[in-house]
Amino acid sequence: MLDQVVASGFNSLRIPFSNQVLEAGRMPTSIDYGQNADLKGLSSLEVLDRILDGCAARGLRVILDRHRPTAAGQSELWYTDQVPEARWIDDWVMLAHRYRHQPAVVGADLHNEPHGAASWGDGNQATDWRLAAERAGNAVLAANPDWLILVEGVARYAGDYYWWGGNLTGAKDFPVRLSAPEKLVYSAHDYGPEVYSQPWFGATGFPDNLPDVWRRHWAYLQADSIAPVLLGEFGGRSVGQDPEGRWQRALVAFLKSSRIGWTYWAWNPDSGDTGGVLEDDWKTVDPAKLALLATDQQPLP
């Protein structure tokens, strides 16, 4: 698959994990060892080591994405009863040390899609995601000063509801403060009408109204030279003339004209509402999706 990723023109991967993967002795449960005999006996973390070695050998770069605290599901906040904040930070520091000399890994996406109770800039230690990102980000940089620190947005700020992790409007008044400011990358997620029917999809002038929505919520950070932005997730099943396809084509064109980097959700086809770059046979690249994404791909580093 890594060969196929490179052949399809991609230069990087955002690899999701849960904190359970990092537990000592945690073993994978869904590997076909008939096809992957070399992985037999390896822990989940050791399997990740192998994947990263494979990425490095092919020149791919990797962002590690703390996608959820446990395999059970995503969490609104960066901590839960099962995975408190101290463990969340300790696990990131461990990874920063473990992969300090692994050339494939370039960044840490600290927590996937803060939403619900997650706030930004209100000073509440229990919910203020901006403050938590500073605590974790600075701990990671102390262990590995070469990594980029990716900080996603929240869902709601000042009464404005947006996608989970996609609302970065609060960063204008309350920016993330890192010990190495040049390592900060803000990251947003954005989706189309097949995921949820947001009001801007039914507005007059769709899809020409969308760039203003994107600029207001996350793209302004890069346009105003505040900090770089990575669109960490977007995707959809259609790239045609239906609303989903028109949204997706408009977004790729916007990313290209704005020179904003991106990672697509997802490579694999069993990714919920969006499907994958791979078709349902897990082997064939979707030619229509790849043709769209190829209009804004960059070479291997």
> Which residues are catalytic, by number?
113, 233
Q: CB-hemisphere CA count at 13 Å for 248?
A: 27
d(CA 209, CA 166): 17
β-pairing, 229-233 vs 261-262, is parallel
Contacts of 119 (CB under 8 A, 6+ apart): 127, 128, 129, 154, 156, 157
Tokens standing for 36?
């992957």
d(CA 245, CA 224): 29
Largest CA distance in the chain: 57
CB 106 within 8 A of CB 147: yes
Core vs surface per residue 190-226: b (16+ CB within 10 A) or e: bbbbbbeebebbeeeeebeebbebbbebbbbbbeeee
